[in-house]
Structure 1
Amino acid sequence: MPDAAAPESASTTGEFLTRVQNQDPLAVRAPLRVLAWLSFLAEVIIIGTGGAVRLTGSGLGCSEWPLCTPESLVPIYADQGVHGLIEFGNRTMTGVVGLLALAVLLLTLHAIGGRRLLVRALWFALGGIVLAVVVYIATTTLGPVLGAALMSTALLLSVVAGAADSLRRTTRRRDLAVLAWVVLVGIMAQAVVGGFAVISDLNPFIVGFHYTASLLLVCVTAAFLVRLNAVPGPREPAVPTWFSILSHITGLALAATIFFGVLTTGNGPHSGDANIERHGFDATILAHVHSWPGYILAALVLTLTIASWVQRLQPRKWLLVLVVAILVQVGVGVWQAREGLPELLVGIHMVLASLSAATYTVVALSLKRPAQRSADA
Structure 2
Amino acid sequence: MRRICPVKRSVRFPASTTLLRRLALASIIANVAIVVTGGAVRLTASGLGCPTWPRCTDASYTTTSEMGVHGVIEFGNRLLTFAVGAIALAVVVGVLLHGARRRALLPLAIGVLFGIPAQAVVGGITVLTNLNPWVVGLHFLASMAVIAVAYALWRRIGEPDGPTAPTVPGPLRTLALVTTVVSVAVLVVGTWVTGSGPHAGDQGAARNGLDPQSISQVHADGVFLLIGLSVALVFAFRAVGARRAERAALVLVAVELSQGLIGFVQYFTHLPAAMVAAHMLGSCLVLLATLAVLWSTRERRPTEVPTPPTPAETPALTPA
- Structure 2 Cα separation of the partners of residues 208 and 112 of structure 1: 39
Q: SS state of the match for residue 40, structure 1?
A: helix
Match of 1:340 in 2: 270
2:92 aligned to which of 91, 102, 105: 105
User: Is structure 2 residue 109 aligned with structure 1 residue 180?
Assistant: yes
1:72 counterpart letter in structure 2: S
The structure with the largest helix share of the pair is 1
Q: Percent identity?
A: 40
Contact 2:35/2:143, CA 8 A, preserved across alignment: yes
With over 3 angstroms needed to count, the CA separation of the structure-2 counterparts of 1:82 and 1:247, relative to structure 1, is: same
User: Is structure 2 residue 261 aligned with structure 1 residue 331?
Assistant: yes
Match of 1:280 in 2: 209
1:40 positional shift: 0.9
1:375 positional shift: 5.0
Contact 2:132/2:206, CA 8 A, preserved across alignment: no
2:49 aligned to which of 51, 58, 61: 61
Contact 1:108/1:177, CA 8 A, preserved across alignment: yes
- Structure 2 Cα separation of the partners of residues 72 and 96 of structure 1: 21
Q: Deviations over 1:250-285 (max 9, x none)?
A: 112111111110111012111110122314222221
- Structure 2 Cα separation of the partners of residues 279 and 207 of structure 1: 11
1:84 counterpart letter in structure 2: G
Match of 2:81 in 1: 94
With over 3 angstroms needed to count, the CA separation of the structure-2 counterparts of 1:234 and 1:31, relative to structure 1, is: closer
Contact 1:173/1:232, CA 8 A, preserved across alignment: no
Q: SS state of the match for residue 165, structure 2?
A: strand
Matches within 5 A, 1:204-243: 204-243=133-172
Matches within 5 A, 1:174-323: 174-313=103-242, 314-323=244-253
Equivalenced residue count is 291
2:166 counterpart letter in structure 1: P
Contact 2:186/2:222, CA 8 A, preserved across alignment: yes
1:238 positional shift: 0.7
Q: SS state of the match for residue 184, structure 1?
A: helix
CA RMSD of aligned residues (A): 1.7
Match of 1:151 in 2: none
Contact 2:24/2:91, CA 8 A, preserved across alignment: yes
1:204 positional shift: 1.1
Contact 1:61/1:87, CA 8 A, preserved across alignment: yes
Match of 1:6 in 2: none
2:22 counterpart letter in structure 1: V
Query: Which runs of 5 or more residues in structure 2 are unaligned?
Result: 1-14, 307-320
- Structure 1 Cα separation of the partners of residues 184 and 18 of structure 2: 34
Match of 1:85 in 2: 72
Contact 2:41/2:73, CA 8 A, preserved across alignment: yes
1:173 positional shift: 4.9
Contact 1:226/1:362, CA 8 A, preserved across alignment: no
Query: Which runs of 5 or more residues in structure 1 are unaligned?
Result: 1-26, 114-171
2:209 counterpart letter in structure 1: G
- Structure 1 Cα separation of the partners of residues 52 and 32 of structure 2: 25
Contact 2:131/2:206, CA 8 A, preserved across alignment: no
Rg bigger for which structure? Answer: 2
Match of 2:300 in 1: 370
1:370 positional shift: 2.9
Match of 1:32 in 2: 20
- Structure 2 Cα separation of the partners of residues 263 and 55 of structure 1: 16
With over 3 angstroms needed to count, the CA separation of the structure-2 counterparts of 1:243 and 1:268, relative to structure 1, is: same
Contact 2:126/2:135, CA 8 A, preserved across alignment: yes
Instruction: Report the more deviating stretch, 197-206 or 172-181.
Output: 172-181
- Structure 1 Cα separation of the partners of residues 193 and 217 of structure 2: 9
- Structure 2 Cα separation of the partners of residues 301 and 195 of structure 1: 36
1:322 counterpart letter in structure 2: L
With over 3 angstroms needed to count, the CA separation of the structure-2 counterparts of 1:177 and 1:192, relative to structure 1, is: same
2:293 counterpart letter in structure 1: V
1:376 positional shift: 7.5
1:247 counterpart letter in structure 2: A
- Structure 2 Cα separation of the partners of residues 41 and 215 of structure 1: 12
Match of 2:312 in 1: none
Contact 1:237/1:368, CA 8 A, preserved across alignment: yes
1:320 positional shift: 1.8
1:92 counterpart letter in structure 2: L
User: Is structure 2 residue 52 aligned with structure 1 residue 51?
Assistant: no
- Structure 2 Cα separation of the partners of residues 174 and 286 of structure 1: 44
Q: SS state of the match for residue 341, structure 1?
A: coil
1:371 positional shift: 4.8
- Structure 2 Cα separation of the partners of residues 375 and 336 of structure 1: 53
TM-score, length-scaled by structure 1: 0.74
- Structure 1 Cα separation of the partners of residues 119 and 300 of structure 2: 34
